[in-house]
Structure 1
Amino acid sequence: MFNLLPKTKSEFTETDYWDKFFKKRGDKAFEWYGEYVELCSIINKYMKVTDNILNIGCGNSKLSADLYDGGFKNLKNIDMSEVVIKNMNKKYCTPKRPGLTFEQMDALNTTYDNEQFNVVLDKGTLDALMPDNKEDTVERIDKLFKEVDRLLKQGGRYIIISLLQEHIVRHLSTYFNSLGWMLRITRCKEAEHSAGRSLIQPVFVVVVTKFKKNPNITPVLEINFNGDKTHRVTSTDALISAVRTEQQVALLCCGLSNSNISSTGSLTLDVYAPGNPDIPRYTLVVIDKPSTKSTDDMTYAAFIIPQGRECEWTFSSDEGRQVLLANCKVDRLTIITLNRSHEFPDLKSVQDELAGTVVELAPSSIRESRKKVPFLSLGGDIGKRHVVVKGESEWSGGYVVEEVEGEDGILRRLIFMKTPYVIQSEIRLQEGM
């Protein structure tokens, strides 16, 4: 399989390379970044069965046939490789798929009419055409984007499935932002996990919607990386930073899934609520038991610390966490702190909110199979924390006085925010006081 991949980045853009590539593969489909079954939950939101759709750089992917069979009949497919077009016409243009077409054509210079399409679909083509940000490469991509602009109707969508290397997301967002188009980036985790261990980087679906430029309106930039709410960002730099962070975390999680980190101590991660980048909602500490086990055989769980108990030795010290790990009888444990300045309705809501996150930190077999991770805690609730007062001191910085439920009643504590897991002073409140 390795000999099918290009020796240099520039080969990705050459027709001869792709002709040889598809001859070597024969009839076996080459699926960049997942198949239709993994992508449909996202891309189907932005395409209607009545839309006129152009699939650029179709390759020998089954995506074209799957889209047609899924009801998208007004579908045209183009590729610059003569070999692949001959193969695709022979394989998929059958009497049961009338109207499905494959044409040899350069996506940078098509023969279609202006504003002929509602959707231009690009699965891996932008990545192949833009291996770097050299001047001639950028000129080629600008031709592609200009052609997409010409082909799309007003309100039409340019849907791109990509790994979004930094030079790509930067040029993509800057170019279309300058035209006044709306841009939304969604992460497609289903496509990543279908690739198993072979795909480390996140797969993104970018939807760029064509609007007339209005100097009085700021173009909309949005992200949705966790499948919940879509969130707006204020600038292309913020968009690029969010994508880069997502990629860095994905790389870390992939490394963690195939390693035992007991020799290096622990790994601490902050989890931020969308729209609140200032104060982490959760802090996660991942620890492993020293073991010769393969990560395929490691057991795993997550432990939720009740609010107010995060300062206890068991949860705040390395030694205490190892005791907790041993008591939980697993090989890896993710210890979860519910941070101040956030509201948490109940234990189940925390579990639901973090289910996807903790599985990303799991050993390889659990992460790849997406097995449900067990959540452990003390008792059946998440504890209570009441902030009495918070402020700033000239000498100690930020501080908070809070009341929490302890084993012997209500405890009032002074915490300096520079050392949030160290209790500066503590008293037990008595009834009637």
Structure 2
Amino acid sequence: MERDDGKTSDDRTRKKDTIPSSATDYLNPRYWDERFSEEEHYEWFKGYSHFRHLVLQRVVPGSSVLELGCGNSQLCDNMFEDGIADITCIDLSATAVERMRKRLSGKGYEGIKVLEADMLDLPFPDEQYDVVIEKGTMDVLLVDSGDPWNPHPTTVSKVMQMLREVHRVLKSDGVFISITFGQPHFRRPLFESPELSWSVEWSTFGDSFHYFFYTLKKGQRSATNDVVQDKKLEVPSISLFHEELEGEDYLFRTNIDDVDS
């Protein structure tokens, strides 16, 4: 039986075996192939029920959706069940793709396509999708970024290549949704690069610890009201014993962004 955080009891038991010895293991394709060969399902940054209202405010039935780094998440299943039927999922791991195809096969999810592909070099034509969505996938690129205020140039280069590809495959009025631990003072310098013509807004979800839900609308430029938006940067003090921070999400997060600098 699945708990409301999107993780099953089996997921929680399996975490002991899948948590890597170093956060940089997340950059190793072999790590993911080995993990996905054993792990049936895991949701990064909460399950769909926690941010469903935010998705449905931005994605309507009939939208063509591309999910980056699907892994073994059930995000595509959940969106499909909400009437969003034209979904393409990609992952760099052939194991993840094979297992997701098998999981979805014959269960009424015919509108979901699952492909092996690299988000840094998307195999799709320009302006194909209404929505691109990722949950924790961009964060993987940042696990070895160093100082979050001044990330390594090689890391920035990879993230910007991803964002350029997302921008390219979005339709002229398309939307990019990024669900992450990353706070706006770390994400905005990347999202608001002059070469990317989209606006940047964000919401938060979660209980005493907040996750961030970014909405980037192509064809618009940000006229961000810093006074209003920056109020959302006030992150509550965190207890390491809080249930939301137990396990891998917290380990992953501590290697991406500092909460209070």
CA–CA separation in structure 1 for the residues paired with 2:170 and 2:79: 19
Match of 1:88 among 100, 114, 123: 100
Deviation at 1:95, TM superposition (A): 5.2
Q: Is residue 2:191 matched to residue 1:183?
A: no
Q: Is the 8 A contact 2:130 2:170 kept in 1?
A: yes
Bigger radius of gyration among the two: 1
Deviation at 1:146, TM superposition (A): 0.5
Identical positions, percent: 23
Q: Is residue 2:34 matched to residue 1:20?
A: yes
Q: Secondary structure of the equivalent of 1:160?
A: strand
Structure 1 length as normaliser, TM-score?
0.48
Letter in 1 for 2:26: F
Q: Is the 8 A contact 1:163 1:201 kept in 2?
A: no
Deviation at 1:211, TM superposition (A): 1.2
Q: Secondary structure of the equivalent of 1:204?
A: strand
Residues 195-274 of structure 1 mapped to structure 2, 5 A cutoff: 201-211=209-219, 219-221=222-224, 232-233=225-226, 242-243=231-232, 245-247=233-235, 249-251=236-238, 254=239
RMSD of aligned C-alpha atoms?
A: 2.3
Deviation at 1:250, TM superposition (A): 4.3
CA–CA separation in structure 1 for the residues paired with 2:153 and 2:58: 32
CA–CA separation in structure 2 for the residues paired with 1:6 and 1:165: 24
Partner of 1:105: 117
Higher relative contact order, chain-length normalized (CA < 8 Å, sep 6+): 2
Return the structure number with greater strand share.
1
Q: Is the 8 A contact 1:130 1:168 kept in 2?
A: no
Q: Secondary structure of the equivalent of 2:176?
A: strand
Partner of 2:254: none
Cα distance per residue 1:254-282 (max 9 Å; x no partner): 46x87xxxxxxxxxxxxxxxxxxxxxxxx
CA–CA separation in structure 2 for the residues paired with 1:2 and 1:201: 23
Q: Secondary structure of the equivalent of 1:115?
A: coil
Letter in 1 for 2:223: V
Letter in 1 for 2:94: E
Q: Is the 8 A contact 1:185 1:204 kept in 2?
A: yes
Gaps of 5+ in 1: 194-199, 214-218, 222-231, 259-433
Residues 297-316 of structure 1 mapped to structure 2, 5 A cutoff: none
Structure 2 length as normaliser, TM-score?
0.77
Q: Is residue 2:177 matched to residue 1:159?
A: yes
Match of 1:66 among 78, 83, 86: 78
Deviation at 1:113, TM superposition (A): 1.1
CA–CA separation in structure 1 for the residues paired with 2:189 and 2:21: 25
Residues 265-344 of structure 1 mapped to structure 2, 5 A cutoff: none
